[in-house]
Amino acid sequence: MKLLSYTTRIQLFAFLLLFGIFSTLFYLVLSWNVLQNVDEVLYNRKMNLLAYLEEHPEISIAKDNPLDDFTFYPIEISAFRSGKESYADTLIYEPMDAELDEYRKLISFVRLNDGYYKLEIVKPHLEATEIIGTIAITLGGLFFGLAFCFYLSNRMLSRRIWQPFYTMLDKLKNYNLGNANTPVFPNSKIEEFQLLNNVMTELTRKNKEVFDNQKQFVGDASHEMQTPLSIIQSKLEALIGQTQLSEKQSDILEGIIGSTQRLKKLNKTLLLLAKIENDQFLTTEEVNVDGIIGRSLEFYEEQKEALNIRTEIDIRNEAIVQGNRLLIEILIQNLLKNAFLHNVKDGKVIINLDGKRLVITNTGSEKGVDKEKLFQRFYKSSNNPDSWGLGLAIAHKIADKGNWRLTYSHKNALHTFTVDF
């Protein structure tokens, strides 16, 4: 979820929560206020009525006039003494509307003309429920309209405020250390964004320097180490060609030459791994995988004949992969080399290619390989002197850089490597 959406949702949720709480409080306060006003009207009506009747004692109060809003009921002195004035809601049938309407009733106990009476005065409830409901709906609609306007305005304003941040993210997303220029971030009037701008500019500059220095070191190391090793190897080969050397001396020199060759290969392999990790293979193109498989198999004819290994190739659908051609070739060649190098006599290598899935299976030891260590550098599951334990590490690194999936499985002395391009 984006930061803008996340903050907006939190603000909207907080607004609705507060709106619900205050709406409830508003309803309760408004209801109480309406009842207080009605009760005040009833009380004033009672006082005015009693004052009028005391001034005009000749007026009869025994008669129940349906047009009056009050009624006197004679009571005993005991009921008069124990009675308490009260207010209550009641329903009265209205013939005109043919329905029960809400009224507010005052019940009071009074002494009038040497008699004791229970006085009931009723007043319409002023349609309090309808009034409160109308006010609540109106204010609710108003508040929801304000909330919607607030949401839109806040989102537009936040999007504008956060625009430098999103621009910076886009530039960082598209930036590659292999590019010649460092990204230029837009200036901002907001102090925090400008500070982030300055920090990111300095960080990318330093990373670019480190990357260039490391790249230069890899190139220099490749040249400076390969040249002495080549000279040593050529001198040793010239020395072993001299006839005055004994057989023992020749064996020693051949061992040194072999070690020198292995050291040259190790140096090249480590430098290749460093280049892959430093993203120095940036060019990509459409690569035909089955063509690479056909050409790569020619390199392992010697191992194939030495162990009498049978190859089975099943290519169902042509696979075109977008990536660096050299890295894809190294990936496939390392998997094939592993399949032939760790095979058994009269074994087999099975190659299946179906679309963008490459499966290479080879016969081998009955015991499986530790999957957690298999793709680690210098991990060797056998004592084969021709293995450095780097081939699968390079293959896994190439797959990782290409966003491909390289997996291993083992069943019944068959070792399977699967690449999902």
Q: What is the pLDDT of residue 174?
A: 78
Same domain (yes/no): 258, 314: no
pLDDT on residue 70 = 84
d(C-alpha 245, C-alpha 92), whole Å: 132
End-to-end Cα spacing for the chain: 29
In a domain? residue 160: no
For residues 305 and 405, membership in a common domain is answered with: yes
Query: What's this model's pTM, rounded to 2 decimal places?
Result: 0.47
- Judge if 204 and 68 occupy the same domain: no
Cα separation of 233 and 257, whole Å? 6
13, 119: one domain:
yes
Per run of 10 residues, the mean pLDDT along the chain (length 421 residues) is 69 78 79 80 84 76 66 86 86 75 85 84 70 74 79 78 81 73 78 84 82 72 70 75 71 76 71 70 80 85 86 83 86 88 88 88 82 74 64 85 87 88 85
100 and 26 in a common domain: yes
Is the domain of 409 the same as that of 363?
yes
251 and 307: one domain?
no
164 found inside a domain: no
**By the 8 A CB rule, do 377 and 365 touch?**
no
Same-domain pairing of 289 and 414: yes
Sheet holding 310-317, edge to edge: 310-317, 348-354, 357-363, 414-420, 405-411
Look up the domain containing 70 and give its range: 3-149
Residues 303 and 415 in one domain: yes
Q: Report helix, strand or coil for 125.
A: coil
Counting the structural domains of the chain, the total is 3
pLDDT in tens, 9-58: 777 778 778 877 877 787 788 778 777 878 888 888 888 888 887 777 77
Give domain status of residue 162, yes or no: no
Dist. CA 226–CA 48, nearest whole Å: 118
Under a CB-based contact definition with an 8 Å cutoff, are residues 46 and 106 in contact?
A: yes
Same domain, 340 and 364: yes
Angstrom CA distances, 162 to 122, 154, 159, 278, 314, stand at 63, 12, 5, 32, 54
Per-residue DSSP letter, 386: T
Residue 98's Cβ-side half-sphere holds a number of Cα atoms within 13 Å equal to 0
The pLDDT of residue 314 is: 87
Contact yes or no for 163/171 (Cβ under 8 A): no
Domain boundary, last residue among 117, 149, 181: 149
**Token pair 């050409």 is at which residue?**
295
Residue 111 domain flag: yes
Question: Are 200 and 208 a contacting pair, CB within 8 Å?
Answer: no
DSSP state of 161: H
Residue 392 included in any domain: yes
Shared domain for 274 and 329, answered yes or no, is no
Q: Contact, 164 vs 190, CB < 8 A?
A: yes
- Write down the pLDDT at residue 179: 65
> Please, which residues have CB within 8 angstroms of residue 327's CB and are 6 or more apart in sequence?
276, 281, 398, 401, 402
Instruction: Name the CA radius of gyration of the chain, rounded.
Output: 47
* 12 and 82, same domain (yes or no): yes
